[in-house]
Structure 1
Amino acid sequence: MKRTDSNAEPADALALRALVWTLSEPDRASRLVSLTGLDPDDLRARITEPGVLAASLMFLEQYEPDLIACAGDLAVKPEALVRARHELEAR
């Protein structure tokens, strides 16, 4: 697991927490499935893949109110979510 500094949460762990947050609200979960093309079974099967986690973070980035709300609920800066996506895409 790649970290940007000694206190940073691993990108995949942060992305997984953000994905759980995204899926916790039915309308937002439906938008994620619709926009990413992942069906629920595919999402379950591939939930730990860096590409899927990066796509879920990109989904949040595309709608700033969700990005900010997710970051607030996870007690991280929105920039941490963006940085995690970049790290996951580099894998």
Structure 2
Amino acid sequence: MRPDTHNGKRDSGADPATLALMALGWILADGQRADRLLALTGLDSDTLRAGIDNPAILGAVLAFLADHEPDLIACAEAIDTSPDNLIAAQERLSR
């Protein structure tokens, strides 16, 4: 296995904020998942919109995925990255 791949997925080279925004787009594409994000994170749609460039909010989006492995895996597949890349991005945003 090459160092820039994980389970066949290339490291997208995207920075953590970009990965979080891609993940957020994936989450918001499903109404039930979007509602669950808002309910579990305590965010509301206005706070989410206003904080789209806030590392803490982007980290919370990725933490939401990290707390539910099926969504983490499905999101990683959909945005062509690995779950490990999403977790690493969440850790970097949460510092």
Give TM-score scaled by structure 1 length: 0.89
Flag the structure with more relative contact order, 1 or 2, with Cα contacts below 8 A and sequence separation at least 6.
2
Distance 1:58 1:42 in 2: 17
User: Following TM superposition, where does structure 1 have runs of at least 4 consecutive aligned residues deviating by more than 3 angstroms?
Assistant: none
Give unmatched runs, 5+ long, in structure 2.
1-11
1:8, CA displacement in angstroms?
Answer: 2.0
Counterpart of 1:66?
Answer: 71
Counterpart of 2:52?
Answer: 47
Structure with greater helix percent: 1
- Say whether the 8 Å CA contact 1:16–1:48 is kept in structure 2: no
Structure with greater strand percent: 2
How large is the RMSD of aligned CA atoms in angstroms? 0.9
- Say whether the 8 Å CA contact 1:14–1:84 is kept in structure 2: yes
1:23, CA displacement in angstroms?
Answer: 0.9
Q: 2:30 aligns with which of 25, 30, 36?
A: 25
Give unmatched runs, 5+ long, in structure 1.
1-6
1:75, CA displacement in angstroms?
Answer: 0.6
Give TM-score scaled by structure 2 length: 0.85
